[in-house]
Amino acid sequence: MSCLECGSQMTAAATGRPRLFCSGRCRVSAHRNRSLPSELIGTPRWIRHVRKRPITWAGHYASVTNPDHWASYQDARRSSFGDGLGFVLNGDGIICLDLDDCFDGGQLKPDAQRLLDSVGESYTEVSPSGRGLHVWGYNDDLDKGRVTSFGEQKVEVYPSGRYITVTERPMVKARMGFLNLTGIR
């Protein structure tokens, strides 16, 4: 087990519970400097991207179906290759809703706001374009992705076989909970 902030190896806590950080210093640093939920940071499915094309943290083209191409959050974040971070979805229940063009004059469009209000606890961040949102959470009922709508808002739902760019520009910062997809047709 390694520290989510610095990557150093750790032993289990005396209580037997898994430790996330090796020290109070790393814990404070992680909470001050990161907006991402620990559920994403602690999952080693990170890549980089160049113009939305996946690459490894070492700068080689990456496959979203080959775990050998993925890295820890720390390794991917430290890398200077490409344009930014990405997270691979592999069907383990972590999903992402991709809402494109959901702002009007800097404000969320009504259907996008209704969607956010209805899905449940999520980590939601602004997409790289600044015109969309990525809504992260859990849902085990989804076996494949789809493009659908919520009112007039187009929604792309991805559970596996994809990666999603990560900006670390939160709009709604929360722990990732179960995303209720009722109403997303």
Catalytic residues: 98, 100, 134, 156
What is the torsion angle, in degrees rounded to the nearest 10, for the CA atoms of residue 106, residue 176, residue 158 and residue 120? -70
Domain layout of the chain by residue ranges: 1-33, 35-185
pLDDT tens-digit readout, 134-172: 999 999 888 889 999 999 999 999 999 999 999 988 887
pLDDT tens-digit readout, 53-103: 999 999 999 999 999 999 999 999 999 999 999 999 999 999 999 999 999
Residue 167 CA, chain-centre distance (Å), reads 9
Are the CB atoms for 88 and 46 separated by under 8 Å?
Answer: yes
CA distances to 4, 54, 86, 90, 104 from 130, rounded to whole Å, are 28, 20, 16, 26, 11
